[in-house]
Structure 1
C-alpha cells in the first residue's frame, strides 16, 4: 500500500512539475500590459506635446497602449531617477533629451549613472530652439533685445525650463558669445517657462516649434531668432545671421529603458519605434506640430550619446570658466 501511495504521489508531483514548467505557466510575451513613458518635465512643453502624438501611434506597432506620466522636478532628475530605479522589464520608459541625459552629470551630482543605468531605444527627432518675446514686447529684433540687455545687465528676465536644461544652456552660450547678461529664472519645464512669458513674469524665453505654432498664428508671440542656419519662419533671422555660430540650441528627443532590460524586449521596442517613424499619419501629425521625424535606432543614437558626453564636458568647462 505504501509503495502504491508513493508511486501515486511521485506521479502526481511529476505531473504537477510538468504543469508548472509547461507553456501554461510560461511568462506571457511582452508587452502584456500598457507601457508607461515618463517625461521628466512639466506639462505643455515640447516633450509633452510630442509624446501625445507618439503615444497615439506607437501602440499600433507595439500591441499595447502607452501612457504618458509627467514627473518634473530637480531639472529633470526626479523623473530620470524614477525610471533608473524601475524594474528593467520594458514597462517603464524615459522620454528625455540630451541636456538632461548627458550634460547635467558635469554640473552636479546626479542620483544615477547615465551611461550605466540606461539603454537607448530610439531617437525620435531633434529640433532647433527659437528666442521669443510677447507680441507686445518693445523688442522688435534680436539686436534690440541684446542692446537692452547690455544697457542694463541682469535686468531682463529670461524664463527657462530648468538649470542646465534645453533653454538654459543655449541662453548661457549666447550670452557668453555676445557678452551680455540677463537674469535666468528656472521653471519646471518648457511649458511653465512659456506661461511665464505670456503672463508677463518674464521678458523673453526660448521654445521649440511644437510649442510655438499656435501662439505665432494667434499673434501672441514674436520670434526673434532661430537656431542653426536654416530659416524656420519667414522674416526671422537664424542664429548664424545674428552672429551666433556653432552647435547651439538643438535638442534631441529620445527614449531610454532601464539598463538590464531583456534584449528581446529592447528589440521589440526598437522595431515598434522604427515602424512608427515610417508611419504616414505620424509624419503628418508631427508636421502639423511643426516638428520633424529624424529617427535613429538606440544603437545608432548611443554613438552620438557618447560623443555628446565628451562635448558637454568641454562645454561646461567653457561656460563656467571666467
Structure 2
C-alpha cells in the first residue's frame, strides 16, 4: 500500500473509531470494555517479553481487563511495529519496544513506517543495563586479559547477537568499534537462542540486557567482563564498568517505551499510561525489576513527551554509528 493511501486509510479508521465510541468522557468511563493487546516484537522468554508480561499482569489491577501479550517476531522488531502502526486506532492495541525504534530508520533501507510520526506516544517504561559476558571456559579471567585475548585471536572469536536490530546487535557493534578489533558476529533468532549458544560454547561473547543475563551470571554459567552503564550496578557491585576499564565513554542502556497507533483516542492512551505508571510503583514489580538490574525512569520521563524526547535523541545518536558500520537490511 502506498504511503499516501495508507495515511488516508489510517485517518478514516481513526474517524470511524471516534464516531463509534462517542464523546471522550463516555470513553473515559467505559474504557477498557474488552482485553487489550500489548504487542512484543521479540520471542517469548526474551528480555522485552519478560518485562511486558510482568507489567501486563500488574496493569490488570488498574484496568480491570486482561492485557494480552502477543509476540510478533522478526526483522528486528519492524514486523511488530508495522502491524501496530497499521492497526485500528481504537485504544486496544499497543506496542512495547526498545532502542530498536530509534535504530530502525538507519538499519533498514525500506521501512514501512516512521517511528517518529506514525504512533501516539504513551510512556517510557524501564531502563535496562547491558552486560558483556563470555562463555565460562573462555581463558581471559577479566576484561584486561580479554582485550589481550581478542587481539591475539580476533579471527577465532565469535560475538553472538539476537538478530539485526536487536540491542545486543547494537551493543556488539559499539563494542567492536571501541576495542578496535574486528570480530566475527553470529546472529540468532532472539536472545534465548543466542544465550543458549553461549552456554553451550558455540560462541564466545554476548552483550545483552541484565534482564536476560543476570541468572546466568549469578549461577556462574557465564563470565561477566563488564557493565555498560556510567556507574557500577548494585546487582554486581564488584564488577567495573567498561568505561572504567579503558573504554572511555562507552555506555549503552536499553530503554523501553510503549506506543499506540496514530489517532488512538487520547482518553485510552492516557488511561493505559496511568495503569502503566501504577504498575511500575507496585512493590512486587519494583522488587523484581531491581533484582534484574532494571531501573524505573524519573517521573518526567514516564510521559508521552518523555518518550518522544528520547526517541528523537537516540535516533540522531545511533544513525551515524550504524551507517559507519555499514549494517543495513532491505
| Shared fold (TM-score, shorter chain, > 0.5) | yes
- Please provide the CA RMSD for this pair: 2.4
Distance 1:209 1:101, change over 3 A: same
Distance 1:38 1:22, change over 3 A: closer
Preserved contact between residue 77 and residue 165 of structure 2 (Cα < 8 Å): no
Deviations 1:3-36 (A, max 9, x none): xxxxxxxxxxxxxxxxxx999xx87822111111
Aligned length: 299
Distance 1:204 1:91, change over 3 A: same
Does 2:252 match 1:246?
Answer: no
Preserved contact between residue 120 and residue 257 of structure 1 (Cα < 8 Å): yes
Does 2:215 match 1:192?
Answer: no
Identify the residue that residue 30 of structure 2 maps to in structure 1: 29
Q: How far has the Cα of 1:257 moved from its partner?
A: 0.8
Give the ranges of 4+ consecutive aligned residues of structure 1 lying more than 3 Å apart after TM superposition: 317-321
Preserved contact between residue 160 and residue 168 of structure 1 (Cα < 8 Å): yes
For 1:269, which of 265, 269, 272 is the aligned residue? 272
For 1:315, which of 315, 321, 330 is the aligned residue? 321
C-alpha separation in 1, matches of 2:269 and 2:317 = 27
Moved more, 288-297 or 120-129: 288-297
C-alpha separation in 2, matches of 1:273 and 1:199 = 37
- Secondary structure of the equivalent of 1:223? strand
Deviations 1:157-186 (A, max 9, x none): 111022232111222112112210111111
Structure 1, unmatched stretches of 5+, are: 1-20
The 5 Å alignment of 1:44-83 reads: 44-83=45-84
Q: How far has the Cα of 1:250 moved from its partner?
A: 1.1
Q: How far has the Cα of 1:86 moved from its partner?
A: 1.3
Moved more, 69-78 or 287-296: 287-296
- Secondary structure of the equivalent of 1:138? coil
Q: How far has the Cα of 1:247 moved from its partner?
A: 5.4
Does 2:297 match 1:294?
Answer: yes
Q: How far has the Cα of 1:216 moved from its partner?
A: 2.2
Identify the residue that residue 40 of structure 1 maps to in structure 2: 41
Greater Rg by CA:
1
Deviations 1:89-134 (A, max 9, x none): 1222111111x10112112222211112112211111111000012
TM-score by length of 2: 0.84
C-alpha separation in 1, matches of 2:48 and 2:294 = 11
Identify the residue that residue 230 of structure 1 maps to in structure 2: 231
Preserved contact between residue 128 and residue 211 of structure 2 (Cα < 8 Å): no
Q: How far has the Cα of 1:47 moved from its partner?
A: 0.9
Deviations 1:293-314 (A, max 9, x none): 2251122221221122222223
Identify the residue that residue 16 of structure 1 maps to in structure 2: none
Structure 2, unmatched stretches of 5+, are: 1-20
Identify the residue that residue 257 of structure 1 maps to in structure 2: 260
Q: How far has the Cα of 1:226 moved from its partner?
A: 0.4
Distance 1:22 1:104, change over 3 A: closer
C-alpha separation in 2, matches of 1:89 and 1:247 = 41
C-alpha separation in 2, matches of 1:38 and 1:142 = 37
Deviations 1:275-304 (A, max 9, x none): 222222221222233322225112222122
Does 2:307 match 1:304?
Answer: no
Q: How far has the Cα of 1:76 moved from its partner?
A: 1.4
TM-score by length of 1: 0.85
